[in-house]
Amino acid sequence: MPQPVSSIGSPASIRPSLAGDSLEALRTRLVGEGLTAYRADQIFNWIHARQTFAFQDMTNLAKDLRQRLDSAYSILDIQAERRVRSQVSNCEKFLFRLADGARVEAVWMGFEKRSTLCVSTQVGCALDCAFCATATMGFRRHLSAAEIVQQVLWVNAQEGLQVSNLVFMGMGEPLHNYTNVALALALLNDNRGLNLSRRRMTVSTAGLVPQILRMTEDDLPCKLAVSLNAITDEKRSRLMPINRKYPLDALFAACKKWTEHSGHRVTFEYILMEGVNDGPDDIRGLRARLSRLPSKLNIIYYNPTDRGFTSSGEAIYQRFYNELQSAPFPVTLRQNMGTDIDAACGQLLVKEERREAQA
Ligand code: SF4
């Protein structure tokens, strides 16, 4: 089991959160403080299975133990500073303030048969994709496993927002924060806790090839998505500089290994931007590349930022979708959600920071 990476630039919380401890880590921590493993199991059950976030409510623990825990630890030490509900789709955005004052976003999306939470894994991002609002923040720090898990616990605790599926697709590149993301996945997957199965959790990467190979070897309990957005190295390197380091051949070879090992398809995400990646050559390139491995394609609406890109028109989305219907892989046109709440990753926070700087 990997060990947590300390959060660079994040002073330790006065009362550290127990939300990121696996059952084994919690036993080690609390047995080291003179409690029994059985007590640790009870506390883990309260937090992750019963989702109780106040030690005082853990009624099968002695009162003085509850007080002792409360003075030494917290469970949820993140707070939603803003919560914005979409007026046009069943979608809500949260701006979370972390214990050290850093902020990240999460987006909840309600569908007919599931509800999906998109969580953040870093404050800012180092990868500098040309179309992304988060990229303008630069990299500030990794989130701890506790901070990742808490986004799920916090949203789950809200009336009517039970989370059934998770996507690691918010602020940050999840595989750049590999160790803490792996810890969070293991914890969320634990059948003694939230028990989110592998098919309900998806990690989306911009294409960190060594980490895709590592997650294959480690058999992380999640599905793999790749933010593709262009099908030639020249174009993709302009949009996503990480492609210069790990070009398409290397990326697709790593994805193929993951599919062979996991038995699942890789999901490729393709955000359509007007005049950039929405032409007939792009359709041909997608068909050729994605046919070579078990894959599926999500065509995604671009939520415009102020980075100089605009969304392709509706007719182009439909043409893309229709022309790829005969491809030997499934294609979906992802519902356009949250345009009125700055739902794209980083949009709301970047706007907030600008507003505060001008105030
Ligand atoms: S798109 Fe994702 S990987 Fe690229 S800069 Fe934005 S957050 Fe980072």
Of 120, 121, 125, the residue with max ligand 1 atoms within 8 A of its CB, to mutate for a pocket test, comes to 125
Tell me: do 84 and 156 sit in the same domain.
yes
Q: The pTM is what?
A: 0.92
Tell me: do 117 and 52 sit in the same domain.
no
Nearest-CA residue for atom 3 of ligand 1: 173
Of 118, 128, 129, 269, the residue with max ligand 1 atoms within 8 A of its CB, to mutate for a pocket test, comes to 129
Say what the pLDDT of residue 1 is. Answer: 34
Q: Which atom of ligand 1 is nearest to the CA of 240?
A: 4
Distance from residue 346's CA to the centre of ligand 1 (Å): 9
Domain membership of residue 9 (yes or no) is: no
Tell me: do 342 and 226 sit in the same domain.
yes
Grouping H, G, I as helix, E, B as strand and the rest as coil, residue 106 is: strand
Packing angle, helices 178-189 and 145-156, rounded to 10: 40
Domain membership of residue 54 (yes or no) is: yes
Residues known to be catalytic: 105, 345
State which residues form the domain around 195.
Answer: 79-358
Tell me: do 99 and 35 sit in the same domain.
no
Pick the last residue of a domain from 14, 37, 72.
72
Nearest-CA residue for atom 4 of ligand 1: 129
DSSP state of 245: H
Count of positions (residues) in the chain: 359
Domain membership of residue 4 (yes or no) is: no
Nearest CA to 272 among 353, 189, 191, 336?
Answer: 336
Quick check: 122 and 142 in contact, CB under 8 A?
A: yes
DSSP state of 13: P
Quick check: 330 and 294 in contact, CB under 8 A?
A: no
Rounded distance between C-alpha atoms, residue 246 and residue 49, angstroms: 40
Q: Which atom of ligand 1 is nearest to the CA of 172?
A: 7
Domain membership of residue 235 (yes or no) is: yes
Q: Which atom of ligand 1 is nearest to the CA of 345?
A: 7
56: domain CATH number is: 1.10.150.530
Domain membership of residue 219 (yes or no) is: yes
Please count the structural domains in the chain. Answer: 2
Kindly state if the Cβ of 132 falls inside 6 Å of ligand 1. Answer: yes
Kindly state if the Cβ of 125 falls inside 6 Å of ligand 1. Answer: yes
Rounded distance between C-alpha atoms, residue 204 and residue 127, angstroms: 13
What are φ and ψ of residue 103, in 5° steps? -130, 145
Pick the last residue of a domain from 40, 72, 104.
72
Low-confidence ranges of the chain (pLDDT < 70): 1-13, 335-336, 338, 343-345
Of 203, 345, 347, the residue with max ligand 1 atoms within 8 A of its CB, to mutate for a pocket test, comes to 345
Say what the pLDDT of residue 32 is. Answer: 95
Distance from residue 132's CA to the centre of ligand 1 (Å): 6
Domain membership of residue 151 (yes or no) is: yes
Distance from residue 282's CA to the centre of ligand 1 (Å): 21
Quick check: 253 and 247 in contact, CB under 8 A?
A: no
Nearest-CA residue for atom 7 of ligand 1: 172
Distance from residue 137's CA to the centre of ligand 1 (Å): 11
To the nearest 10°, the Cα dihedral for 93, 95, 99, 100? 140
Kindly state if the Cβ of 105 falls inside 6 Å of ligand 1. Answer: no
Kindly state if the Cβ of 345 falls inside 6 Å of ligand 1. Answer: yes
Distance from residue 128's CA to the centre of ligand 1 (Å): 6
Kindly state if the Cβ of 170 falls inside 6 Å of ligand 1. Answer: no
Q: Which atom of ligand 1 is nearest to the CA of 206?
A: 3
Tell me: do 186 and 206 sit in the same domain.
yes
Tell me: do 217 and 313 sit in the same domain.
yes
Nearest-CA residue for atom 6 of ligand 1: 132
Kindly state if the Cβ of 208 falls inside 6 Å of ligand 1. Answer: no
